[in-house]
Structure 1
Amino acid sequence: MELGGFFEASPAKFNGKTSLDVADQWLKDMERIFDAKICPEESRLAFALHMLTREKPVTWEAFRRKFLSEYLLDSVRYANEVEFLQLTQGNKSVAEYVEKFQHLGCFYTMPLDEEWRCRKLQNGLRGDICLMVAPLYIKDFAALVEKARVMERMKVEVEAQHSQQ
């Protein structure tokens, strides 16, 4: 079932500031619509979220944090956070380093602004690549990643030309 088909049934919005009876009736109405429209189980949550109106909307990041806090052991989260803080490029390519950086960055518990992420990524780059990108003072994460990849590619090309001579 498509979202449009769901909305054809005119489901009610729910703001959470109601009695238990109203909440129970809303849930029953939603389930009746799902059943009538033959809505698959895997779509029901997404459709129901569209009908929630609250002061603070459910964002992907909020859902992700809640999910990780429920299903990932604190010790694993802490170990990943420590690994993130100590992460450097080492012998990885820029692409591999950025992938690991983004994965482990999800476990960092402090707020990450764009400039901090750039500084952290840049400081972990191998010295030769860091020397090429640091003077550029890039404060946009995507731009920094792209520039580091370009510098890495140029370095490889220059080294290949020197080895042929």
Structure 2
Amino acid sequence: MDNVKVMEKFQKFRPPYFNGIAQDPLAPTKGIEGMDETFEVLTLTGEQKLLCTNYQLQNEERKEIDFMDLKQGSKSMLEYQQEFEKLFFFALEHLKEDHAKAKRFKKGLRPTIGAMLVGQYLHSYAQVVQAAKSIEDEQRENYQAL
């Protein structure tokens, strides 16, 4: 069986992704056990197992990159915050501190909102989110009044 077919069959089993140990210390064990079960069913060679395992880990790396590249764009503040929170799990360790999290959130905001936050001394993530939501609400009200 060639590598493309191996990957197609492997993905049909929806194997678990390794999400780190932050939320569940047994996650690595569960992930390995889940992939081992898939490997047994597919009767893969050692090389094919390695190919599939690398693919799973690369998906996690992609999520870290998605987090670093995340921008609000046309999303509402709530949609941006939800996406940010979902991907924050994959952030590098030095971004886990509250002030770093706040700074990264600000960086991804729409320029019209981010510029309004520049002069404000907001230190926590919660403060930044609340201020950004207030600015978005004010901008929406001003737009509707036109």
Same fold (TM over 0.5): yes
Aligned to 1:156: 140
Once the two structures are superposed, the pairs formed by residues 119-138 of structure 1 within 5 Å of their partners are 119-138=103-122
Give the number of equivalent residue pairs.
102
- Residue by residue over 1:48-98, the C-alpha shift from the partner in whole angstroms, topping out at 9 and shown as x without a partner, is xxxxxxxxxxxxx64436526853921111010000001010100111111
Aligned to 1:144: 128
Aligned to 2:58: 75
Picking from 67, 70, 94, the partner of 1:87 is 70
Once the two structures are superposed, the pairs formed by residues 7-156 of structure 1 within 5 Å of their partners are 62-64=22-24, 66-67=26-27, 71=31, 73-111=56-94, 112-156=96-140
Tell me the distance in 2 between the aligned counterparts of 1:153 and 1:136.
17
Tell me the distance in 1 between the aligned counterparts of 2:26 and 2:70.
25
Aligned to 2:4: none
Tell me the distance in 1 between the aligned counterparts of 2:29 and 2:113.
36
- In structure 2, the CA distance between the partners of 1:63 and 1:115, relative to structure 1 (3 Å rule), is closer
The amino acid across from 2:144 in the alignment is A
Percent identical among aligned pairs is 24
Aligned to 1:28: none
Question: Which structure is larger by alpha-carbon Rg, 1 or 2?
Answer: 1
Residue segments in structure 1 that go unaligned for 5+ positions in a row? 1-60
Tell me the distance in 2 between the aligned counterparts of 1:89 and 1:145.
12
Tell me the distance in 2 between the aligned counterparts of 1:135 and 1:69.
47
RMSD: 2.1
Q: TM-score, normalised by structure 2?
A: 0.63
Residue segments in structure 2 that go unaligned for 5+ positions in a row? 1-20, 33-55
* Secondary structure of 1:90 counterpart: coil
Q: Moved runs in structure 1, 4+ residues, more than 4 A?
A: none
Of residues 128-137 and 147-156 in structure 1, the stretch that sits farther from structure 2 once superposed is 128-137
Q: TM-score, normalised by structure 1?
A: 0.56
- In structure 2, the CA distance between the partners of 1:79 and 1:115, relative to structure 1 (3 Å rule), is same
